[in-house]
Amino acid sequence: MSRFTKTVLFTSVFCLVFGLVLGCIGAACGGMRLVSFGWGQGVRVIQLDEFSDTDINFDAGNVDVSQVDRLIVNVSACQLTIVEGAKFSVTGHYRGSESSFDCSIDGNTFRVNLYQNRSSIYNFGWQSLWFIGQNWRAPEVTITIPSGTTFRDVAISCDAADVDLCSITADSIAIIANAVSINSRAIDCDNLSIEINAGYTSLSNVTVRRAANINASAGDININRADITNLNLELNFGSVNYFGTMSGTNKLYTASGDMKITLEQPENDFDISYSASVGDMTINSRSFSGLDSNGTAGNRNADIKLDITLEFGSFTLKTR
């Protein structure tokens, strides 16, 4: 073993052991520490102050909420829960030195925001290590909406969040999510727009009467017990599982991934056209594979349209 190799191994082991020691010290102190290292600078403790939690306790109180029909939520790096209850309120906690929170009811709009502060402690790049102490808690935001509320607009935007949604009824619902896990118990709306850039999404009891646009850049989407009119479903990478019914004109596109559609309607209810560039396509008991497979299926005179495009990956359609 050469001297250079020995030096590299010794340095790696030393850094690992020293990092573990610092982690134990941070845990024992009960706080969070930031340690930075790099060539020529050694190991330095950048910050010794522990991050303290700030409680959230917003209550609509005597504010007139009779006209509230818009819910706007913008959060990052937290556990977000929306539940039904007696009145509008928000509870939870966040790290005050790391995030900023504001909540308001202004006219017809109920707005909840939890932002990440872009302070200098985030700018160390790959040379930074976080050591998390025993009293660290992930930020949590719980939003309560009055039971039976029907909104005109619901807009939810979240980054790096774990989202649990109760039953939501609205004219229009829009969800934009990056690196998240979403679980929704029920959605009832005229128009639905969901954009998932990465993460896992589970939607149950979905009713859309006019149009739905669901786009997954990278992630897994499960849609169960759905009744959707005019669905535009795009999967770029990942997987989609859909179970339920469809009506109107529907476009199903798979760039690279695995899309499985199970419909509780007979094949003759659909006018199906398909195109597969590269990949495996299955429609009930019939399989199409290879390059540039194009064709039709179902009933060409049917009112419900299915336009299926497969670029690469697999697509499976099963009907009753």
Domain-embedded: residue 19? no
DSSP H or E run through 14? helix 3-29
Distance CA 32, CA 302 (A): 62
Question: What pLDDT is stored for residue 244 in this prediction?
Answer: 98
Domain-embedded: residue 118? yes
**pTM, to two decimals:** 0.78
CB of 159 within 8 A of CB of 180? yes
Domain-embedded: residue 36? no
- Give the total number of structural domains in the chain: 1
Nearest in space to 204 (alpha carbons), one of 227, 229, 220: 227
Domain-embedded: residue 263? yes
Question: What pLDDT is stored for residue 184 in this prediction?
Answer: 95
Domain-embedded: residue 48? no
Distance CA 4, CA 171 (A): 67
The CATH number covering residue 103 comes to 2.160.20
Domain-embedded: residue 288? yes
Domain-embedded: residue 44? no
Q: SS3 for 188-244, per residue?
A: EEEEEEEEECCEEEEEEEEEEEEEEEEEECCEEEEEEEEEEECEEEEECCEEEEEEE
Question: What pLDDT is stored for residue 8 in this prediction?
Answer: 47
What is the amino acid identity at position 171?
A: D
The pLDDT tens digits along the chain (320 residues) read 555 454 545 566 556 655 555 555 444 444 444 443 344 444 433 343 444 678 888 887 777 788 899 999 999 888 999 999 988 999 998 876 667 889 999 889 999 998 876 543 444 333 333 333 334 567 899 999 999 999 999 999 998 888 999 999 999 999 998 888 899 999 999 999 999 888 899 999 999 999 999 998 888 999 999 999 999 999 998 999 999 999 999 999 999 889 999 999 999 999 999 998 888 899 998 887 766 678 899 999 999 999 999 998 899 999 99
Which residues form the domain of 262? 53-122+138-318
Domain-embedded: residue 181? yes
Question: What pLDDT is stored for residue 261 in this prediction?
Answer: 97
CB of 112 within 8 A of CB of 91? no
CB of 184 within 8 A of CB of 207? no
Question: What pLDDT is stored for residue 2 in this prediction?
Answer: 57
Residue 57's contacts (CB-CB under 8 Å, 6 or more residues apart) are: 90, 91
Question: What pLDDT is stored for residue 15 in this prediction?
Answer: 61
